[in-house]
Amino acid sequence: MADSRAGNFPETSYGIVKRLQTIEAWTGQVAQRLGKPSLSILDFGCGIGTATPFLREYFPHCDITGADVSPASIDIAREHAGSAASFVAMSEESIPVGDGHFGLVFV
């Protein structure tokens, strides 16, 4: 099984690195514009929490919530992030938080 994916590894690795660079650049730019706010941030479709370390680094005083439709992804995100953020499973129709709760949404 692993051998069948070996040919795609460079492209997959490159894609992951580019995504991480994009996430870091975006969070850095937004943080520069906003300063050091104290607000709630939603990482919508957080998956396994890839953006969480960057959000925590650039927004150290903010509450960060990751939301995803995959309970398995949420479990991995919780394991990796520890207390850096909270994570909630959402349905395709709604996120289990109140309207107007977030000052910034990362998609």
pLDDT for the residue numbered 12: 61
Among the listed residues 52, 30, 23, 45, the one whose alpha carbon sits nearest the alpha carbon of residue 103 = 30
Q: So what's the pLDDT on residue 5?
A: 46
CB 54 within 8 A of CB 90: no
Match 């953020």 to its residue by tokens. 85
Q: Residue 28's pLDDT is what? A: 83
Q: Name the pTM for this structure.
A: 0.75
pLDDT along the chain (107 residues), means of 10: 45 71 84 82 92 90 93 93 92 76 87
Q: Which helix (H) or strand (E) holds 69?
A: none
Report which DSSP code applies to 65.
Answer: E
